[in-house]
Amino acid sequence: MKNVFNSFLKPYPEKNVNLFKKSVRFINYSRSNTFSIIMVFISLVMCLISYIEDDVQIIKTLNFIFLISSVIIFILFQIYKPKNRTITVYHTLLIFIQIISVMFWSSSLLAFVPNRYELFGTYSIVVLSVSTLLYLKWQYHAIIFSISLIYVFFTGVLVGGFLFESPYTPKITTLILLVAFSWGFSRILYSKFLENYNLNYKLKTQNKKISTEVKEKTNELFEQQKNQVIDMVHAMNIMLEQYTPYTKGHCDNVAILSKKIAEDLELSNLEIQETYWSGIIHDIGKLLVPLEILNKKGKLTEEEFELIKLHPVWAYEALKQLKSLSNVSKNVLHHHEHWNGKGYPSGLVGDSIPIVSQIISVTDAWDAMTSDRPYRSKLSHEEAIEIISSNKSIQFSPLVVDSFLKLYKKGF
């Protein structure tokens, strides 16, 4: 019994009180806003009926006052609507003004007009409507209904009417029981709402916890897969260096320098990452080139060179099958394209060449020229810079060359 009584009087949940208050205020405002439209309609109908039927003057007057107040309240609801579901003091006051208005109207009809039993029904509907529509504190409902009863009784004593005509005890008792029932009904609705809120909050908290755990697990699996791909890429790179020792460190150098150029060109974070990984594996296709051709000290024959030119295609065909490396595969495919369209394998021209491929084209050439190869000794930095500068807009992208030269002057 004590728990039931406490649930009637409990105003807020134990947790997340501010969010609960905000939710309740917005529900009350939304329902009151709708109720203001109903009030206008009912007051207009009641006013018309009283004048058409030529009812007693007090009913005409009360209905007319109720009509005017209903229209004003409706207008006030439309003038200043809440923003972002935030209910201000203005909206709260408007809700209580609405309650006072409709309670005063129904209470006055009941108190001032003698022997009109249908007005008892009007009062009952109003009291039940206020109890049902609005989630108010238990004290607020108790105060509103108590003041209404006191107003009805004292006015009834002065004016007279059916409440105080013998037998008056059942009538007064019925009225008090109606108000008591309405108050209890309002508390049942409120406690159910509070119970549902607590349940939803608990479910949301559990779902959030589960969602966080799933997200963490997913990120863990994603990171694991990412690390596996990275390890696989590095393993292929190590295999290439073991296959052709003269390229040791070449792919790392190309990747690091390419990333710096991508950052200087202010590419997106995703493109910068793709630039780095494209640099790491840009020569992976050379694993399929016969070793005697890769390590040949003399000039390559035309057939041998044509075979060499296939290494970007072989890399592309392998990498494109891996979803995480599909974009990288396109960059690798075109890193030997020339700005003037005389590169390979597709003969792309200018900006039709992927920007990452344009970058790797320059950094690959730079590192190759400044490193020892089986067919020649490394060039000096000055010689390599001269070759890259003279091939600007011919073999290399002018934008990339300018960025490369700027970084070179800064010491990379």
Kindly report, residue by residue over 190-242, the tens digit of the pLDDT: 888 888 888 887 887 787 777 777 677 656 655 665 565 666 666 666 666 66
- Output the domain CATH number for residue 373: 1.10.3210.10
What is the per-residue DSSP string for 62-108?
HHHHHHHHHHHHHHHHHHS--BTTB--HHHHHHHHHHHHHHHHHHHH
How sure is the predictor about 396, in pLDDT bands with cuts at 50, 70 and 90?
Answer: very high
Residues 250 and 336 in one domain: yes
Is 25 within the bounds of a domain? Answer: yes
Domain containing residue 40: 2-211
Q: Quick one: 156 and 205 in the same domain?
A: yes
End-to-end distance of the chain based on CA atoms, in angstroms? 80
* Angle, CA of 136, 140 and 142, to the nearest 5°: 115
pLDDT in tens, 295-354: 777 788 888 888 889 999 988 988 888 777 778 899 999 999 999 999 999 999 999 999
Residues 161 and 83 in one domain: yes
Closest to 236 measured CA to CA, from 247, 223, 225: 247
Share of residues in the chain with pLDDT > 90 (%): 37
How confident is the model at residue 271, as a pLDDT? 92
Q: Given pLDDT bands bounded at 50, 70 and 90, which one contains residue 119?
A: confident
The contacts of residue 340 (CB under 8 Å, 6+ apart) are 349, 393, 394, 395
Final residue belonging to a domain, choices 188, 211, 234: 211
Q: Average pLDDT of 49-66? A: 90
Q: Token pair of 216, please?
A: 């963490």
Could you report the per-residue pLDDT of 154-188, keeping only the tens digit for each?
Answer: 887 777 665 666 666 677 788 888 888 888 888 88
Q: Are residues 203 and 62 in the same domain?
A: yes
116 DSSP 8-state letter: -
Give the total number of structural domains in the chain.
2
User: Backbone dihedral region of 206: left (phi > 0), alpha (psi from -120 to 50 degrees) or beta?
Assistant: alpha
Q: Is 223 among the domain residues? A: no
Q: Express each pLDDT in 378-393 by its tens digit.
A: 899 999 999 999 999 9
In a domain, 395, yes or no: yes
194 and 328, same domain (yes or no): no
Domain boundary among 211, 234, 257: 211
Place of tokens 């019994």: 1
CA atoms within 13 A on the CB side of 65: 15
Round to whole Å and give the CA distance between 325 and 323: 5
Residues 195 and 268 in one domain: no
Quote the CA–CA distance of 352 and 162 in Å, as a whole number. Answer: 94
pLDDT band, residue 250 (cuts 50/70/90): confident
Is 301 inside a domain boundary? yes
Task: Give backbone dihedrals phi and psi of 148, rounded to 5 degrees, phi first.
Answer: -60, -45
pLDDT at residue 301 in the model: 86
